[in-house]
Every structure is written in structure tokens, then in C-alpha cells.
Amino acid sequence: MRIGIVCPYAYDVPGGVQFHVRDQAEELRRRGHEVSVFAPVETDYSEEGFINAGKTFAIPYNGSVARLAFGPRVAARTRQWVTSSDFDILHVHEPVTPSVSLIALQHARCPVVGTFHAAVERSLLYTLGKPVVQSVKERLSAQIAVSEEARRTLQRYQGGDATVIPNGVDYQTFAQATPSPKWQQSEESPVFCFLGRLDEPRKGLALLVEAIPLVLSAYPQARFLIAGPGSASRARANLASYGKNVEFLGALSEAEKIALFSSATAYIAPQTGGESFGIVLVEAMAANCLVVASSIPAFSAVLEQGRLGKIFTSEDVNSLAENLIAVCENREAAAHLARQGHQGAKRYDWPVITDQVLAVYERCREQKQENKL
């Protein structure tokens, strides 16, 4: 098939939707499909099959910052790409986001699949934009949600239903990763890692900073590796007295991230909300790293209510510390739970996920043929 995929966010800025689109396109191409990815960028980014939609603007959204593209020039470029390409399927991610996805949807001439990623409790943007959304959403031939939380958000604000197809991971790459000697756990020193934007409150670093002293008072040999972009001056100051027990790694490359998960005893996910899925949890699980996550609905679903990892009470410092101490106390039990998570992560391997996506594409094509008869 000739497939067009639209990402509304800056493609050269790391993010869950961007990685999803990149990996989805790669797997589709591996199977012989012709794929064109259309997205805005901040730099002179280029790769085979990628079309630049233009520059972006930073917009605060859902506790984070989204870099979106809009305006007459972007609209014209999007319209030109959509109408001049003979796609069998157009796949738009976050189709109601006021960026290139919404514009592409308006000009589509083939079956359109929309994937919804966001999970929000309340959204003024979604509420105010509902009339506009309803006027174009009828163009969608099928709807996908990456989780039950994303599906509930869709139902609440746009109506209709969606097939739940989760985010995917390159399972083999994570499973075959080699631990880094500088980060690797030992029998004496369990290693806990955190990965996320350090200056984004909902990622939960402040909660971890409070829990670390409680863990170290019980297990002085434990190590904490804190990775991610953004300023963390307050966290660094609060943890400065713990010396080599706490290390700030800064932003990591993809290879470094994989090595970190492979090296650590457990990955800590203390997010307080605003998460629709939790792809980083699955990446850690694929790398055979135990996940210790907050009890927000999206994370509880990925960990199957504790069958594939440890769950602590969201925003509860003592609960987080108790779960980390339990990992230190019984490393054998922690390793067993990590193995359970490792096996569970196989259902998110991109070949498995792509089979599900292609089944949706085929239904859309069949429906188009039936409508012609």
C-alpha cells in the first residue's frame, strides 16, 4: 500500500507520538509498503520518506509543551502533500490537534485512520474545539486509541469509539541490550533509574527526591541514576549530600537509554498523571528491568495491576520508598517479577502491533470498495 502518516508535533523533538510514528513507518516499510511521513520540524531534519511541514510554535498542553505547526504556509504545504499523493490510506495521529493532522484530515481523498494518544481528565481546548472537531471527524474511516485511557478521553470529548491498539517497542533491541559497566547493578548495590523531563512536575521527580533518603537510610549501598533533559537544580541541591549514591546523567541517547535499562535493578516511574499509556515502562520491561510505577490508571494497566511490575500509591512518598526497600530486601523476588514483565512486553513488539494496525487499514479499504458497489 501507499501510506501517508501525519505527526502533528515537531518530529525532531523526542516524544512518545514521534517515536510511535517513526517506528510504525519503519516496520511498514520493512514489510514492503511505501510510506511517506509528514510532520513539522525545528531543525533541518531529513530522512528518506520524510516531508517537512514547516516550523512549529511552543504551546503549553496537558502539563507539558507541545510544538505544533499552523498558519497559511503550513496549511498550503499540507494541502499540497495530501492532494498530490495517491495514498491508499492516510493515517493521522492526534487528528483533532490544531496542527497538520487536522489540516490533512480536512483535505483527505482516501480512507483516513486516526490514532488518539492523549488522556486528560479536563481540557478547555478539547471542550472549545468540539464543534470544529465534529465537523471534520466524520472524515475518519476508523479510530484507534493507544490505551483505554485514551479511548475514554476520545469518548468524553469527541464521541464515538475506537479500537485499542497500544504503542509498540522494538522488543529485540531492548531484550538484547548489553549492560553498561558504569551503571550495572551488583549483589551489594541495587541500581534504581529514573528517566523523564526533570522540570516537568507530572513526571514525579520531586516525589522521588523525597523517597531517596528514606531508601538510603535503610540500604546505604543503593544507587540512583536520574536521567532526562531539563533543569534539576533543586533536586541536585537536595541530594548533593548523598555523593556517589545519586548521579544525574542528563539527556541520554537512544543507545544510552537502552543500556541504562539493561543495567538497572528497577526503573522508577513516579508520574502523577497526564499519561495515556507508558511506553517507557514497556521499554524497561523489554530490557528485563523491573518497573516500579505509580498507581495511575495507564501504568496499572500496562503492569496488569501488579502482575508484571510493582505498583505504589500515586503521589505517596512512603509507599514509593517502601516498594523500593522491598526490592532491596528481596532481590530474587524482584528479579522474578522483572522476568514476568519481560515476557509481558512481547505483546507490544512492533510486528505484533503492526499486524493489528494493518487489519484496520484493510477494513477501511474493504469498506471503500463496498461503498463503490
| Per-residue confidence (pLDDT) for residue 129, from 0 to 100 | 55
pLDDT at 124 exceeding the cut of 60: no
Same domain, 242 and 135: no
| Per-residue confidence (pLDDT) for residue 131, from 0 to 100 | 64
Tell me which of 64-78, 283-297, 324-338 is least confident.
64-78
Enclosing domain of residue 232: 171-348
Same domain, 194 and 318: yes
| Tens digit of each residue's pLDDT (9 = 90 or more) over 209-241 | 999 999 999 999 999 999 999 888 999 999 999
Same domain, 70 and 181: no
| Per-residue confidence (pLDDT) for residue 319, from 0 to 100 | 98
Distance (Å, rounded) from C-alpha 297 to C-alpha 277?
Answer: 9
Distance (Å, rounded) from C-alpha 291 to C-alpha 131?
Answer: 41
pLDDT at 25 exceeding the cut of 70: yes
Angle CA(149)–CA(104)–CA(142) in degrees, nearest 5?
Answer: 45
Same domain, 249 and 302: yes
Averaged pLDDT for residues 245-267: 96
Q: What pTM was estimated for this model as a whole?
A: 0.89
Looking at the 3D structure of the chain, how many domains does it have?
Answer: 2
Summary mean pLDDT of the chain: 92
When comparing pLDDT for 148 and 61, which is higher? 148
| Per-residue confidence (pLDDT) for residue 232, from 0 to 100 | 86
| Per-residue confidence (pLDDT) for residue 62, from 0 to 100 | 57
Same domain, 277 and 354: no
When comparing pLDDT for 132 and 94, which is higher? 94
Same domain, 154 and 287: no
pLDDT at 128 exceeding the cut of 60: no
Contact call for residues 18 and 9 (beta carbons, < 8 A) = yes
pLDDT at 121 exceeding the cut of 80: no
Same domain, 318 and 207: yes
Residue 247 belongs to domain with CATH number: 3.40.50.2000
pLDDT at 125 exceeding the cut of 60: no
Same domain, 93 and 207: no
Cα–Cα nearest to 69, from 55, 81, 87 = 55
Same domain, 305 and 338: yes
| Tens digit of each residue's pLDDT (9 = 90 or more) over 144-188 | 999 999 999 888 877 788 999 999 999 999 999 999 999 999 989
Same domain, 30 and 20: yes
What's the sign of the alpha-carbon dihedral 239, 252, 285, 113?
A: positive
pLDDT category at 126 given cuts 50, 70, 90 is: low
| Tens digit of each residue's pLDDT (9 = 90 or more) over 71-110 | 889 989 999 999 999 999 999 999 888 889 999 999 999 9
| Per-residue confidence (pLDDT) for residue 139, from 0 to 100 | 87
| Per-residue confidence (pLDDT) for residue 76, from 0 to 100 | 93
Same domain, 84 and 102: yes
Same domain, 354 and 336: no
89-93 and 64-68 as β-strands: parallel, antiparallel, unpaired?
unpaired
Contact call for residues 258 and 174 (beta carbons, < 8 A) = yes
